């Protein structure tokens, strides 16, 4: 390939590389200061998640440990109705969880349609580390979790059960309305002091979904993707639309081609729009982090926000750019 983009090198060295070193005559080098560590995660509940991740990152811990520890915070928080304990159930009243994790070596683990386990992300990590597989679902995932020593607990809180009963009495819609109340997966991307990336994504999925439905969040490439040579991405929103576009893999590939993180997310949102004629009725948001610590987000409709923590800027919430 010999187009100009081939010659645009994004570098974390903070210095311009000599053309001769790159073996080409014309070089438009974009110097990007290396920022490390970084914790980046979706929605308001990303703030406390980042804090937990930061404790590990700041002490020199791994991106993988940080991502797992970070998303465990909303998983255990009953006030977060879209992740883990206290998550909104499916139409039958069952809370079923999806989660996946990926590290800097491209190793990954995932669980889907998992019931009664407070921390699906930690089960996903065990799948990655203790089995030759990537994904376990349903009864098999639960059996595996039991074998690994995870204890079972009811995830349906009385408050959430009351909401579900009301929804049922009002004979809820076939597809739940898309808004920030029922659509807040936590996806987290971390960059550690050694320059390695990892990611984690965990959710109770779309509220009042069909029993057995699995969304994008536990699907590597759809809800999460990490390539340590380039960057990582995670997704939130209507999972079916994200799966159709293999959204997070796409974001990372756009970054590999030289696009910055927000622009890569924007291009992936455009692809989602192309593939989903009903796009004005759905929300999809992508969040991305590069190897150099740059971050960005883009979504269909206003309302998606994310939390970022860096050494210089502290832990703060930012609004994503949007198409509408
Ligand atoms: N993406 C998730 C799903 O479709 C939902 C969400 O982001 O809240 O399961």
Q: What is the pTM of this model?
A: 0.90
How do residues 177-221 score in pLDDT, each as one tens digit? 554 445 689 999 999 999 999 999 999 999 999 999 999 999 999
Does 285 contact ligand 1 (Cβ within 6 A)?
A: no
What per-residue confidence (pLDDT) applies to 6? 31
Does 218 contact ligand 1 (Cβ within 6 A)?
A: no
Domain annotation covers residue 24: no
Instruction: Provide CB contacts within 8 A for 53, sequence distance 6+.
Output: 39, 41, 66, 67, 69, 70, 188, 190, 309
How do residues 100-118 score in pLDDT, each as one tens digit? 999 999 999 999 999 999 9
Alpha-carbon distance 189 to 135, whole Å?
20
Domain annotation covers residue 28: no
How many domains, the chain?
Answer: 1
Indicate the SS3 state at residue 315: strand
Residue 315, strand partner residues: 309
Cβ count within 10 A of residue 192 = 25
Q: Ligand 1 centroid vs 105 CA: distance in angstroms?
A: 26
What per-residue confidence (pLDDT) applies to 34? 77
Q: Ligand 1 centroid vs 137 CA: distance in angstroms?
A: 17
The number of angstroms, rounded, from the C-alpha of 44 to the middle of its chain's C-alpha atoms is 14
CATH code of the domain covering residue 202: 3.60.20.30
Domain annotation covers residue 16: no
Q: Ligand 1 centroid vs 182 CA: distance in angstroms?
A: 8
Domain annotation covers residue 229: yes
Share of the chain above pLDDT 70, in %: 86
Does the structure show a pLDDT above 90 at 253?
yes
Does 247 contact ligand 1 (Cβ within 6 A)?
A: no
Alpha-carbon distance 91 to 110, whole Å?
23
How do residues 254-266 score in pLDDT, each as one tens digit? 999 999 999 999 9
Does 187 contact ligand 1 (Cβ within 6 A)?
A: no
Does 205 contact ligand 1 (Cβ within 6 A)?
A: yes
Q: Average pLDDT over the chain, rounded to whole?
A: 89
- Active-site annotation holds for 42: no
- Higher model confidence: residue 120 or residue 177? 120
Ligand 1 atom 8, closest CA: 183
Alpha-carbon distance 280 to 269, whole Å?
12
How do residues 24-74 score in pLDDT, each as one tens digit? 334 333 445 578 999 999 999 999 999 999 999 999 999 999 999 999 999
The stretch 20-26 carries a mean pLDDT of 36
Helices (H), the chain: 19-22, 46-58, 63-76, 120-130, 138-147, 158-169, 239-245, 247-256, 261-275
What per-residue confidence (pLDDT) applies to 10? 38
Share of the chain above pLDDT 90, in %: 84
DSSP state of 313: T
Band of pLDDT at residue 174, cut at 50, 70 and 90 = low
Q: Ligand 1 centroid vs 234 CA: distance in angstroms?
A: 11
Which atom of ligand 1 lies closest to the CA of 242? 1
Sign of CA dihedral 77, 79, 80, 82: positive
The residue segments making up the domain with residue 167 are 36-322
8 A C-beta contact, residue 12 and residue 282? no
Domain annotation covers residue 5: no
- Higher model confidence: residue 175 or residue 299? 299
Does the structure show a pLDDT above 90 at 119?
yes
Ligand 1 atom 9, closest CA: 205
Alpha-carbon distance 237 to 241, whole Å?
8
What per-residue confidence (pLDDT) applies to 262? 98
What per-residue confidence (pLDDT) applies to 32? 52
Q: Of 185, 202, 234, 290, which residue is the catalytic one?
A: 185
Domain annotation covers residue 79: yes
Does 127 contact ligand 1 (Cβ within 6 A)?
A: no
Which atom of ligand 1 lies closest to the CA of 209? 9
Cβ count within 10 A of residue 106 = 12
202, 210, 209: which is closest to 85 by C-alpha?
202
How do residues 286-305 score in pLDDT, each as one tens digit? 999 999 999 999 999 999 99
Ligand 1 atom 4, closest CA: 239
Domain annotation covers residue 63: yes
Alpha-carbon distance 56 to 64, whole Å?
10
Q: Ligand 1 centroid vs 304 CA: distance in angstroms?
A: 13
Q: Is 307 left (phi over 0), alpha (psi -120 to 50) or beta?
A: beta
Does 185 contact ligand 1 (Cβ within 6 A)?
A: yes
Taking each helix axis as running N to C, give the angle between helix 261-275 and helix 247-256, from 0 to 180 degrees, rounded to the nearest 10.
140
Which atom of ligand 1 lies closest to the CA of 82? 8
Taking each helix axis as running N to C, give the angle between helix 138-147 and helix 120-130, from 0 to 180 degrees, rounded to the nearest 10.
80
8 A C-beta contact, residue 254 and residue 136? no
Does 202 contact ligand 1 (Cβ within 6 A)?
A: no
Band of pLDDT at residue 170, cut at 50, 70 and 90 = confident
The stretch 144-158 carries a mean pLDDT of 98
Q: Ligand 1 centroid vs 204 CA: distance in angstroms?
A: 8
> How far is CA 24 from each of CA 16, 30, 31, 257, 283, rounded to the nearest angstrom?
14, 16, 17, 17, 43
Domain annotation covers residue 31: no
């Amino acid at each position: 390939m010999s187009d100009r983009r081939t010659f645009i090198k994004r570098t974390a060295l903070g210095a311009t590389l000599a053309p001769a070193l790159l073996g080409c005559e014309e070089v438009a080098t974009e110097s990007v200061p290396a920022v490390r560590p970084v914790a980046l995660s979706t929605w308001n509940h990303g703030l406390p998640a980042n804090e937990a991740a930061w404790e590990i990152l700041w002490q020199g811990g791994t991106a993988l440990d940080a991502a797992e520890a970070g998303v465990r915070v909303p998983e255990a928080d009953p006030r977060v109705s879209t992740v883990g304990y206290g998550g909104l159930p499916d139409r039958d009243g069952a809370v079923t969880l999806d989660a996946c994790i990926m590290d800097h070596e491209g190793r990954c683990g995932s669980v889907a349609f998992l019931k009664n386990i407070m921390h699906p992300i930690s089960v996903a990590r065990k799948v990655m580390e203790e089995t030759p597989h990537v994904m376990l679902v349903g009864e098999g995932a639960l059996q595996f979790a039991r074998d690994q020593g995870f204890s079972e607990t009811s995830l349906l809180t009385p408050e959430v059960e009351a909401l579900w009963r009301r929804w049922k009495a009002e004979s809820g819609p076939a597809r739940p309305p898309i808004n920030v109340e029922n659509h807040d997966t936590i996806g987290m991307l971390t960059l550690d002091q050694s320059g390695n990336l990892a990611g984690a994504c965990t959710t109770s999925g779309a509220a009042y979904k069909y029993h057995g439905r699995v969304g994008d969040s536990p699907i590597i490439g759809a809800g999460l993707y990490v390539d340590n040579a380039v960057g990582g991405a995670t997704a939130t929103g209507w999972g079916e639309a994200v799966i159709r576009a293999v959204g997070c893999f796409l974001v990372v590939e756009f970054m590999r081609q030289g696009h910055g993180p927000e622009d890569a997310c924007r291009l992936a949102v455009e692809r989602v729009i192309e593939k989903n004629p009903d796009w004005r009725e759905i929300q999809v948001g992508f969040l991305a982090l590069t190897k150099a610590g740059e971050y960005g987000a883009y979504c269909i409709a206003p309302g998606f926000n994310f939390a970022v923590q860096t050494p210089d800027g502290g832990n703060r919430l930012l609004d994503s750019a949007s198409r509408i």
